[in-house]
Amino acid sequence: MKNSSQKTIRKAVEGDRLAFRELVLENSHAMFNLAWRMTCDEAAAEDIVQEAFIKAWRSIGDFRMEASFRSWLHRITVNTAMDYLRKRSKRQKLEVDEPQWERVSQASEPARTDVQIDIRTQTQAALMKLSEMERAALMLRHFEGHSIDEIANTLNLSANACKQTVFRAVKKMRIELQPLVAT
Amino acid sequence: MKKITDDDLTLLYYGEHDDPSLAARVAGSDELSARFEALGEELSRMEALAPPERGDDYGAEVWRRISPRLAEARQSSGWGWFTGLRTPRFSLAGAFSIALVFAVAFFLGREGALTGPAPTGAGNTQDLVLNDLDPGQLLATSVSRHLEKLNVTFTQFANSSELSDGMADRAMDMLLANRLYRQAAESRGDKQLATFLGELEPLLIELAHEAYKNSPATQNRMQQELKDSLLFRIRVMNKQLNDSQIST
């Protein structure tokens, strides 16, 4: 995610649509990546990005300039993704169906080899076994490079609880990913 | 000496451990180095989670999709600026031209679509007239005329301190026309034109809803945006469309 200029952020906070548009152009890709890693679902990730920006615009007047805009956007994206996952989980309890990520993983990557698809599918499967909070914490730490303190703030956890969440996520992922190391 | 756990190694891996001597201890021990290496290898498997790529214009696409919802979102959150935004304005004079634009856009969209059943019933009369036309050329001609109108209205707005009452109505007509042309361009796969038309919408929305009224700062910003680049880009795009018509 690019570091949007303070001037642009300030203008957006003051209600400037064009400045907000600039923020959308700058941050959409990174928000999509985060939303996709949270859901492993391409269409859902696109919806989450749009929804997150609408929420951001609605509450941008409350943004404090001394805070990190990137973390603020991540928090909105993660919360929107979690809402989506909860709704999906409720739906899936009512349906006897394979999880959404399995269908997506096979359909959206035609250029990859069978081994790569297998690793990717298994990694996705491992990730989807984590709780929403563990997944969010791990994604923010591993892919977005947030510090434990930033993640704690994003997920509304204490620093210690956040650390334990990351540890749990790492342990679970290692168990699942160990067999793939030799591949 | 305190036993080094996997949690310590995880913190070290992510650069979060607060004991500066830990890295040296790990490096100095074969057993710890092996454990740290295993952790790194296993976590590196997560790199397989590369998200599907989005195109360069993904941000613009997101903006296009959300921008019509932003005004509503802001109002429902209690922000007072943009009062009266919900009531759409239509001028009677523009109604006929919008209907015509809609017919053209419908035809262009239908022609551009690769699959799908042909419409039946009332649309057939229109088809008889339009089927002989080249849809690409029709789109270029129609959008070119649309851009000429935009150029006149925007130039007037950019250079006036006092604005006529009819400006908002005209802008609303042009906004609706702009959306239809954008959809037609998208249906025909003309990404460049669709993106360009999408970029005009934020300003048209503000103009149509008189965002500049009682806000000299907003008016200045809108005028500056037009003078800085938008007017120039409209003229360049119009020229490109005219050139493409000459060359076909």
Neighbours of B113 (CB within 10 A): 12
Separation CA A67–CA A138 (nearest Å): 22
Contact A42 B206 (CB under 8 A): no
- Structural domain boundaries of chain A? 6-181
Separation CA B116–CA B100 (nearest Å): 23
- Structural domain boundaries of chain B? 6-48, 58-247
Of B16, B53, B5, nearest to A142 by C-alpha is: B16
pLDDT reported for residue B9: 94
The sign of the dihedral angle between the CA atoms of A134, A136, A140, A142 is positive
Q: What was the ipTM of the complex prediction?
A: 0.82
Total CB pairs under 8 A between chain A and B: 115
pLDDT digits (tens, 9 = 90+) for A70-98: 889 999 999 999 988 888 776 666 554 44
What is the rounded end-to-end Cα distance, in angstroms, of chain B? 82
Contact A33 B76 (CB under 8 A): no
Positions of chain B with pLDDT lower than 50, given as ranges: 78-93, 112-130
Of A30, A40, A22, A124, nearest to A77 by C-alpha is: A30
pLDDT digits (tens, 9 = 90+) for A129-144: 999 999 999 999 999 8
Contact A54 B66 (CB under 8 A): yes
State whether residue B241 is helix, strand or coil.
helix
Of B213, B188, B70, nearest to B135 by C-alpha is: B188
Positions of chain A with pLDDT lower than 70, given as ranges: 1-4, 90-117, 182-183
Separation CA A81–CA A75 (nearest Å): 10
pLDDT reported for residue B116: 41
Exposed/middle/buried for A138, CB within 10 Å: 0-12, 13-18, 19+? buried
**CA distance to partner chain A, nearest, from residue B138 (Å):** 31
Contact B49 A127 (CB under 8 A): yes
pLDDT reported for residue A72: 92
* Backbone φ, ψ for residue A176 (5° rounding): -75, -35
**Which positions in chain B touch A27 (Cβ < 8 Å)?**
59
CB within 8 Å of B166: residues ≥ 6 apart: B91
Residue B52, chain A, CB below 8 Å: the answer is yes
Of A51, A40, A46, A99, nearest to B54 by C-alpha is: A46
**CA distance to partner chain B, nearest, from residue A93 (Å):** 26
* Backbone φ, ψ for residue B79 (5° rounding): -75, 135
- What chain A residue is nearest to B212 in terms of C-alpha separation? A16
Separation CA B218–CA B213 (nearest Å): 8
Of A46, A79, A72, A139, nearest to B59 by C-alpha is: A46
CATH topology for A6-181? Rna Polymerase Sigma Factor; Chain: A (1.10.1740)
Contact B45 A108 (CB under 8 A): no
Our measurement of the distance from residue B190's CA atom to the centroid of its chain's CA atoms, rounded to an integer in Å, reads 14
Of B134, B65, B237, nearest to A54 by C-alpha is: B65
To which residue do tokens 């906070």 refer?
A: A13
* A84 membership: H or E segment, kind and range: helix A69-94
**CA distance to partner chain A, nearest, from residue B60 (Å):** 6
**CA distance to partner chain A, nearest, from residue B98 (Å):** 26
Separation CA A7–CA A21 (nearest Å): 13
Of B153, B158, B156, B205, nearest to B179 by C-alpha is: B205
CA separation, residue B157 to residues A126, B164, B225, B231 (Å)? 57, 9, 11, 11
Residue percentage of chain A with pLDDT more than 90? 52
pLDDT reported for residue B114: 41
Exposed/middle/buried for A55, CB within 10 Å: 0-12, 13-18, 19+? middle
Q: Which of A57, A173, A180 sits opposite B70 (nearest CB)?
A: A57
Contact A36 B79 (CB under 8 A): no
pLDDT reported for residue B218: 77
